[in-house]
Amino acid sequence: MKNDAITVNSVNSPAEDLFVQLFCETFGPDKAEKLYIQYPFADIYGHQRFIDFALLSGTDKIAIEIDGESYHNPNKVSENKYIDDLLKQNSLAYLDTPIDAADYEIIDLFNWQTEVQNMISQLEFVRMVDVQSETVERYIREGKIVPDLAVPISENRFFNYFREDTVKVYAEQYGWDLITQSNIKSKFMEFVSKMDMSFSYKPVLLKEMMRHADENGCVALEDIVDYFKEYYEGRAAAGLVVEKPSSIFAKGGYSDKDVEKNILANPFKRFADMRFFQRCKDVTVVRFNPWIFKKLTTDDFKQIHKICDKKLEEYYARFK
């Protein structure tokens, strides 16, 4: 069977759009290359059907149905539609052919989608408070934070959800500030001014985001990759210290995809965890949080540039 599925640059419903966003944020946008929307397979009668999403990774194949209770609940759809959905799901579980649907693991999201629609995901929890994702993750592991709902997605992984009041209680308990539309710009400027740095990546990212942001604060990942390569290769050509020996830019021999993965893992994730930067529906584009970008003035941009230059100067002074 020819693989003529399309990748996830375009989706068919708000639920599918949310799934793509969560997938990219959880596993990284590069993994989206293995995710296919409306993936074709043949049912037990040989008729062609489509899976909402198929995740194809080596020998692993996972079928994911997304669209929710209104599409699948037997009390909300016709009898024929419900029977047809059962045939589709049973076909995925039954078929044992090399390509069509062999060994698919069925992940059925609509069973809990309604229950969590008024709750906050762990990702949203992190973005509501001024702490890093690792802190929240550690507190959950240690039992200091208990989710209101934990949905198992594998033996050791869960999607954790919280009521908004729960987040506020933990924020007060642990002395975390809530990030709101009214204070997010000041939180961003405070984050930039303090900017802890294990590598030089944060100020380099900031400088490129400001240089190439369009009127909506959006920047193509391709442009950011090019800037990072230009910056570090320029240092190498000038005989300057490029980075720590463990950095891909110091090692060399990297591809554009390697650079993109590095940027998204560090430093972009740090800004995204605080809701300062965001992924776009188009996974090839990132952006400033609109509530920050629309409030930034020309003087703010100048101040950020100065901070970035100073931080880079201080960082590379460590190597002298």
Domain boundary among 106, 138, 173: 173
> CA–CA distance from 224 to each of 205, 214, 228, 247, 299 (Å)?
7, 13, 6, 17, 23
Domain boundary among 142, 173, 204: 173
pLDDT at 12: 54
Same domain, 150 and 82: no
pLDDT at 320: 80
Domain boundary among 115, 133, 165: 115
Classify residue 178: in a domain, yes or no: no
Same domain, 228 and 305: yes
pLDDT at 110: 47
Query: Which 8-state DSSP code applies to residue 145?
Result: S
Contacts for 265-272: CB closer than 8 Å, 24+ residues apart = 265/28, 266/198, 266/199, 266/201, 267/199, 267/201, 267/202, 267/204, 267/205, 268/205, 269/133, 270/132, 270/202, 271/191, 271/202, 271/205, 272/25
Is 271:277 a contact under the CB 8 Å cutoff?
A: yes
pLDDT at 227: 97
Other C-beta atoms closer than 10 Å to the C-beta of 179 total 22
Same domain, 45 and 59: yes
Same domain, 205 and 150: no
pLDDT at 316: 96
**pTM of the full predicted structure?**
0.63
Same domain, 168 and 256: no
Distance separating alpha carbons of residues 249 and 229, to the nearest angstrom: 8
pLDDT at 124: 84
Pick the closest to residue 206 from 180, 235, 231, 184 (CA basis).
Answer: 231
Pick the closest to residue 3 from 34, 24, 25 (CA basis).
Answer: 34
pLDDT at 80: 60
Same domain, 281 and 306: yes
Distance separating alpha carbons of residues 120 and 159, to the nearest angstrom: 11
Classify residue 21: in a domain, yes or no: yes
pLDDT at 55: 79
Classify residue 41: in a domain, yes or no: yes
Same domain, 109 and 226: no
| SS3 call for 221 | helix
pLDDT at 157: 74
Other C-beta atoms closer than 10 Å to the C-beta of 215 total 6
Tokens at residue 10, please? 């375009």
Distance separating alpha carbons of residues 285 and 221, to the nearest angstrom: 5
pLDDT at 210: 94
For the chain, residues with pLDDT lower than 70 are: 1-18, 21, 25-26, 28-30, 41-47, 58-60, 65-115, 153-155, 281
Tokens at residue 170, please? 């933990």
pLDDT at 152: 75
Tokens at residue 297, please? 């003035």
Same domain, 194 and 313: yes
Q: CA 203: distance to chain centroid?
A: 21
Instruction: Tell me phi and psi for residue 163, to 5 degrees.
Output: -75, 150
Classify residue 1: in a domain, yes or no: no
Q: Which residue range is the domain that position 200 belongs to?
A: 184-317
pLDDT at 171: 95
pLDDT at 44: 56
Distance separating alpha carbons of residues 211 and 205, to the nearest angstrom: 10
Classify residue 220: in a domain, yes or no: yes
pLDDT at 209: 95
Instruction: Tell me phi and psi for residue 48, to 5 degrees.
Output: -75, 135
Classify residue 179: in a domain, yes or no: no
Pick the closest to residue 109 from 143, 70, 76 (CA basis).
Answer: 70
Domain count, the chain: 3
